[in-house]
Amino acid sequence: MPDRTGIISAKGNPLTLSGSGEVKVGDTAPDVVVSKSPTEDVKLSDFRGKKVILNSAPSVDTSVCSNQMARFNEEALKLGDDVVVLSVTMDLPPALARWCEANKAEAIKAFSDYKHRDFGDKFGLRVKELGLLARTVHILDAQGVVKYQQIVPDIPTEPDYDDVLKALKELA
């Protein structure tokens, strides 16, 4: 798949999305492999049967990404058992574990795309210039079909949480 431009930027500077795929609303999400720890991998299909809020961010070591993960953790506490919130970054698993512990983030599941680069590749959300993931939110139904997609146009901006939560409620 060719690189995509004109979709995201960083403070007005255009960035390029790359990867072998491009996921759209209505598609079945690709069964990507992400890392929970350096020795433990997880597949997206492991969460079939639940609605999934799948959010990606560049790195938890930035304030915007940290805020994003914290907000989704806060929202996850309010959601039922039929919804799981997954966060994917390029951070190493120990960094994600430290962030979760420091922020008491026990309601979300944080994963890394560092080893396989499967999420960024198959979703077409790898930022070529940064080597990181774009800031996005997808909602998958219990069968793994993408029902909502938000690609945040300016990377230093948080997602529209209200829009995400509205879409999740409409999925019920």
Lookup: tokens for 139: 């909602």
- Give the 3-state secondary structure of residue 159: coil
Lookup: tokens for 36: 């929970």
How distant, in Å, are the alpha carbons of 65, 98, 168 from that of 101? Answer: 16, 5, 27
For CA atoms 44, 124, 101, 81, give the dihedral sign: negative
Please identify which residue in the block is written with the tokens 């230093």: 156
Active site residue 65: yes
Catalytic annotation, pick one of 32, 44, 57, 65:
65
Among all residues, which ones are annotated catalytic? 65
